[in-house]
Structure 1
Amino acid sequence: MVYIFVGIAGFFGAILRYSIGLALFDESKLFPFATLMINLLGSFLLAFLTTVVFKRFLIPAPLKTAIGTGFVGSFTTFSTLSVESVKLFQSHHLLLGFVYVLVSLLGGLGMSRLGFRVRKEEETG
């Protein structure tokens, strides 16, 4: 049954990702802002959900898996990050490629940390 929940949540995460990508994507722009924003938001969202929402509310384990793995997992995309990075490097935009990779990785870690900090601030505040 959990597979069905993951699939349904994954469907909605993928649709949301695609919709945001369409809204933010402009072929004339060289830098992949849409993927970067989606992945940074997803990093925060997963940390926030697992440390705040899933701790505060009694959510069944299959639903937690569906939301975390299905929805957030299909919303974010490491494969697109990889392909866009390689395209930047292949088109000799080395600086932009390195900036994209660094901001994606460090920004993702920072956004995850921010999601965890929300929980800590609630506990102390």
Structure 2
Amino acid sequence: MITMLLTIAAVFLGGVLGTSLRLGLDLALPTGGPLALSTLVANVLGSFILGLVTGRVLSRPERPEWLRAGLGAGLLGSFTSFSALAMDAGGHLLAGRLLEAGAELGLSVVLGIAAALGGLVLGSLGQSRGAS
């Protein structure tokens, strides 16, 4: 019961922090136009950081579940946003801007996967399974 409460609290606190960081990014970068830069940056940066943290910290079996959930689903899950990407692309589609919708989706998916992979590789460098 305590472990579950710690996990819920970690996701909540991570979510508050991640959402606040995302709002700051939305205020600092353009969210409209042909490419919603804040959505792209949040999703690619969040993918890279999650890959890095997973490779360095979260892939270790001795790490507590509350840490995994708080950093993954909480902090980075609230920072990145599939729903914002879907709304941005959907807005382009409704306006008949197929090229912008395709660019928005394609860039986010391709760059997000590349960033996550790069983060995993970088986070795993120098790691041995027996070290902490």
TM-score > 0.5, shorter chain as reference: yes
Cα RMSD after superposing both structures: 1.9
* Residue 83 of structure 2 is aligned to residue 79 of structure 1: yes
* Residue 30 of structure 2 is aligned to residue 25 of structure 1: yes
- Following superposition, the deviation at residue 59 of structure 1 comes to 4.2
- Following superposition, the deviation at residue 38 of structure 1 comes to 0.4
1:55-74 to 2 correspondences below 5 Å:
59-74=63-78
Give the aligned partner of residue 7 of structure 1. 12
Gaps of 5+ in 2: none
As a proportion of its length, which structure holds more helix?
A: 1
Say if 1:89 and 1:106 are closer, same or farther in 2 by CA, change over 3 A: same
TM-score normalised by structure 1 residue count: 0.88
Gaps of 5+ in 1: none
The AA in structure 2 aligned to 1:7 is F
TM-score normalised by structure 2 residue count: 0.83
Q: Distance between the aligned counterparts of 1:123 and 1:59, measured in 2? A: 15
